[in-house]
Amino acid sequence: MLALSLFGGDEPVRRVLAIGCHADDIEIGCGGTLLALTRSRPNVEVTWVVLGAGGERAAEARTSAEEFLASASHAEVVVHGFKDAYMPYYGESVKEAFEELKGVQPDLVLTHTRDDLHQDHRLACELTWNTFRDHLVLEYEVPKWDGDLGRPNLYVPLADDVVADKLELVLRHFPTQAGKHWYDHETFRGLMRLRGLECAAASRYAEAFYAPKVTLAP
């Protein structure tokens, strides 16, 4: 497992696996973190996996991922076509998609949180931990109607330019979501502002994660 060090550490993140159920989940949950990481460490390689996106949504997912990962040294975007809200019923097929990801050998895995009330999201988290049992796994949050935001325990402060770029990219690349009452600038900025408050971020903004199991290097 990649250790988190209080003194900077000598095990830098080089391979990242980001998993999202739907076309915009990764962008909303950890897009700012990925922007900041790939810009500050140009040798980072990212595998970006979307489990459920078809037709226009698949095109949105690919275009958005490619722009979010523009600074990565290597980026692979994988888009599956599992039907939204039906993933638990595909069971075996979704499990096989996760098995194929073992070859990535990531240093860091970003996935949905286990307490997410969306059934697809919960399955993704369960299979992430089932597949990657000795890895650093951070679970991101996605705001939604269900009201399932919790109490995260790990924060990534985000610089102003990263916040601005994340918001611009999310809102530009997903026009199919524009009509939804929650899908707007205020929702995404508001959540980052709240998490920035909770961790006293100098920039006032942050993304938050759940870290169920981590190690600290001595």
Domains of the chain: 13-213 (3.40.50.10320)
Give me the pLDDT at residue 3, please: 59
CA distances in angstroms from 42 to 7, 37, 155, 168, 207, listed in the order given: 22, 8, 22, 22, 21
Query: CA nearest 207: which of 146, 143, 147, 116?
Result: 143
Q: What is the pLDDT of residue 202?
A: 95
What does pLDDT average to over the chain? 94
136 contact partners, CB below 8 Å, separation of at least 6: 1, 2, 4, 107, 108, 109, 214
Query: What is the rounded distance in angstroms from the CA atom of residue 58 to the CA atom of residue 174?
Result: 10
Say if residue 8's pLDDT is above 70: no
pLDDT interval class at 12 (50, 70, 90)? confident
- Give residue 27's pLDDT: 98
**Where does the pLDDT of residue 216 fall: very low under 50, low under 70, confident under 90, or very high at 90 and above?**
confident
Tell me: pLDDT of 191 over 80: yes
User: What's the rounded mean pLDDT across residues 127-141?
Assistant: 96
